[in-house]
Structures are given as structure tokens and as C-alpha cells.
């Protein structure tokens, strides 16, 4: 039976084992998937020991995504663009690194019937969560992908990592002069019940608002967007499951359906308070 792990610190809250077991049941494959609490000092050794024990692949969450990237013999273009790795594939003595966060976001949006092509998109944040989704979003050919961040210089630096005329940077004050088709919150504001300094003018009756945070209830940001009359609000649970599905595909060469895991985890969230980030 092929063995897989997810590394993180903390890791007890991870839903990855449950998600991948649902994928395995659905695709009629036998896998063994566990959580591993690691440390920055032990991470590299932990991965190498898992490979020696016959491990076939691993997921990586905070705070090890950059360390995982440094271990890789090969990197996909989206991993290079993200500057971090969340999926490791072990094969023929090589470690291949990928980042499935961005495609997980895009696939969730597509499943929710949200159009990106030729649309004006605002991405809030300039940290790792934002960087990881820029390349897949640009691949959907939005008319504009605009970055905004509390520290504008950080957003400018991030934009310079991507060679695209459709990628621009504005300040939060400038959002007063724009209306968007899609707004994506990649900041950590919702985890502390805070709101980004976004102008109400940015949201119209045709705006879809997305928050990478997920929980039993809508985040403060999504509740605020509802109050502003947004067309649709979506949390990050689907992104979590879709990025896992992409990892599963890299390992097993079969793409699982995300609907059943999404419904199962959504029901669990309604049963007990929970909050997380994809």
C-alpha cells in the first residue's frame, strides 16, 4: 500500500488525511495517508526518512513550504512562480515539487460557475497565499488582475516577479475608483476577525467575493461583502479540497471528484465550530 504524509506545525487540525481517504475510496485505490508534526530543524530529515521507508509523496503546509522547495530536484513552473511547494512527489530517487494552491482556487471558482476570463479581478494580499495563486489566475486570461496590499511596496515587489501586462498594483485608497467582477481575499485578516480597508465602491451587484478562510460561518469579510450587495460569496473550503485533488492526481494519475468531500466537510463544519485556511 502506497504511503503518503502531510507535514505541518501545527498539524492536528489537518483535514488532508480524511480528504485523501475519500478520494481513495471514490477511485477504488488503496493508500495510507497520515499527519506528521515536524519542526524546522527536523523537517529535511523527516522527509528523507519517509522516502527511505517507501513513501511515495507528501503534502506540505506551514511553515515548511519554502524548506520543501529547497529540497526538490525538480520544480514545476507554478511552484517556481509561487516560491513555495505544497506537494512532493518521490520517484526514481528524485524529489519533484509542485504547488497546487492556485489551481485549487481556480478549479473551485470554475466549479462555482465563476467566470475569470476577460473579468476584472482584485487580489488582496501580497504574502505567500497571494503569490501562490497569481500564475494560475493569469492563465485564465482576466482582463486585469490587480493586486492590493496594506504595504503597497510589497505588492509592487510581488508584481515584478510576474511578466504580465494584465497584472497591476493599486493602493487600498485607490479601490474607491474601481469596481470588480471578482475579489479574492488572500490576507490573514479574517483569521483575526478584521476587515481589509476595501472601498465599498469596489463591490457591485455583479461582484463575486472569495475568502481563502473557511469556517462554520462566513468570515467577517464575506459577511461585509454580503452587506454591500455582492452577487455571490464563497469561502475557501472548496479551494482546500480542489488543491488536494490536484495533489492526488499528481500521485495517482486519476482526478477525483470534489463534490462528495466538499459536502462531507461542509456538514462537519456545521456540526462543530471550526476555522481554517486553505
Sign of the dihedral through C-alpha 29, 32, 37, 41? negative
Catalytic residues: 65
State how far the Cα of 114 lies from the Cα of 208, in Å rounded to an integer. 8
Beta bridge partners of 215: 275
233-236: long-range pairs with CB below 8 Å, 24+? 233/208, 233/209, 234/108, 234/109, 234/112, 234/114, 234/208, 234/209, 234/210, 235/210, 235/211, 236/210, 236/211, 236/212, 236/276, 236/277, 236/278
Distance, in Å, from the CA atom of 259 to the CA atom of 238, rounded to the nearest integer, reads 9
Amino acid at each position: 500500500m502506497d504511503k503518503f504524509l502531510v507535514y505541518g506545525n501545527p498539524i492536528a487540525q489537518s483535514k488532508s488525511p480524511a480528504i485523501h481517504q475519500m478520494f481513495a475510496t471514490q477511485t477504488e485505490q488503496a493508500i495510507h495517508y497520515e499527519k506528521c508534526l515536524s519542526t524546522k530543524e527536523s523537517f529535511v530529515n523527516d522527509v528523507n526518512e519517509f522516502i527511505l521507508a517507501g513513501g511515495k509523496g507528501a503534502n506540505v503546509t506551514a511553515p515548511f513550504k519554502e524548506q520543501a522547495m529547497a529540497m526538490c530536484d525538480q520544480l514545476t513552473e507554478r511552484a517556481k512562480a509561487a516560491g513555495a511547494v505544497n506537494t512532493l512527489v518521490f520517484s526514481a530517487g528524485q524529489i519533484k515539487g509542485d504547488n497546487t494552491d492556485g489551481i485549487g482556487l481556480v478549479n473551485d471558482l470554475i466549479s462555482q460557475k465563476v467566470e475569470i476570463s476577460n473579468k476584472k479581478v482584485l487580489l488582496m494580499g501580497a504574502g505567500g497565499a497571494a503569490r501562490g495563486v497569481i500564475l494560475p489566475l493569469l492563465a485564465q486570461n482576466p482582463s486585469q488582475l490587480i493586486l492590493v496590499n496594506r504595504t503597497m511596496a510589497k505588492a509592487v515587489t510581488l508584481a515584478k516577479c510576474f511578466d504580465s501586462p494584465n497584472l497591476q498594483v493599486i493602493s487600498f485608497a485607490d479601490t474607491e475608483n474601481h469596481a470588480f467582477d471578482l475579489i479574492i481575499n488572500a490576507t490573514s485578516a479574517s483569521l483575526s476577525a478584521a476587515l481589509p480597508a476595501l472601498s465599498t465602491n469596489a463591490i457591485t451587484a455583479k461582484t463575486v467575493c472569495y475568502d481563502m478562510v473557511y469556517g462554520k460561518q462566513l468570515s467577517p469579510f464575506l459577511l461585509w461583502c454580503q452587506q454591500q450587495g455582492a452577487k455571490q460569496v464563497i469561502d475557501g473550503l472548496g479551494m482546500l479540497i480542489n488543491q488536494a485533488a490536484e495533489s492526488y492526481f499528481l500521485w495517482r494519475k486519476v482526478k477525483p471528484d470534489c463534490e462528495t468531500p466538499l459536502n462531507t466537510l461542509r456538514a462537519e463544519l456545521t456540526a462543530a465550530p471550526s476555522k481554517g485556511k486553505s
